[in-house]
Structure 1
Amino acid sequence: MSVSGRTHVRACPERTCVGCRKRAAKHELLRVAAVEDACVPDPRGTLPGRGAHLHPDPSCLDLAVRRRAFPRAFRLQGALDTAVLRTFVEERAGLTSTP
């Protein structure tokens, strides 16, 4: 038995979705990074700089855009383009059809 009270099970890191503001395991959320004036998906988590986390769900993306959560999360001024991010999230959710 451990004296420190720690268990041998590793804790899974949690992050907060900038859209719905609910906490979830890091692997359940999509990391988003700011590149120039655009929000881009960072599924591997390797882009430099601050990141924001988002459920890969169009409703969470809509909430984040409506609340202006991305500029606040990245500590930037002005609006950011979310077209690339929206395409990625909709494809991942299976909402777009490929011809």
Structure 2
Amino acid sequence: MGCRKRAAKHQLLRVTAIEGVCVPDPRGALPGRGAHLHLDPTCLDLAVRRRAFPRAFRLQGTLDTERLREYVEERAGGTPAS
């Protein structure tokens, strides 16, 4: 979503929107539309900047990405980006 690069499905994180919040779905079991993202904070930043999440989920307005950001930064092993 963010960097627009192709990758195998197992290399990407499925993300879904639940009640206005972007939620990581590593098992791919949550209901609803899903979008796929690299486990890279830079890719997440690009997706947020481009407003890709509301388009992917076909929703109006902004979505809270804080929970998703924490998950990606923890899995990427980096420090939180400011």
TM above 0.5: yes
Q: Match for residue 10 of structure 1?
A: none
2:56 match = 73
Q: Distance in 2 between matches of 1:44 and 1:96?
A: 24
Residue 39 in structure 1 maps to residue 22 in structure 2: yes
Unaligned runs of 5+ in 1: 1-17
What per-residue deviation string (whole Å, max 9, x for no partner) do you get for residues 52-79 of structure 1?
A: 0000000000000000000000000000
Counting only pairs closer than 5 Å after superposition, residues 4-15 of structure 1 correspond to structure 2 as none
SS in 1 for 2:69: helix
Asked whether 1:91 is paired with 2:74, we answer yes
Extract unaligned runs of 5+ from structure 2. none
Q: Which has the larger radius of gyration?
A: 1
The separation in 2 between residues aligned to 1:40 and 1:49, in whole angstroms, is 11
- Higher RCO (CA-CA < 8 Å; seq separation 6+): 2
Q: C-alpha root-mean-square deviation of aligned residues, in Å?
A: 1.1
Tell me the TM-score normalized by structure 2.
Answer: 0.94
Identical columns (%) = 80
Counterpart amino acid of residue 83 in structure 1: E
The structure with the largest helix share of the pair is 2
SS in 2 for 1:91: helix
The aligned residue for residue 53 of structure 1 is 36
Tell me by how many angstroms 1:96 deviates: 4.1
Could you say which residue in structure 2 is the equivalent of 1:82?
65
Following TM superposition, the consecutive aligned residue runs of length 4 or more in structure 1 with deviations greater than 2 angstroms are none
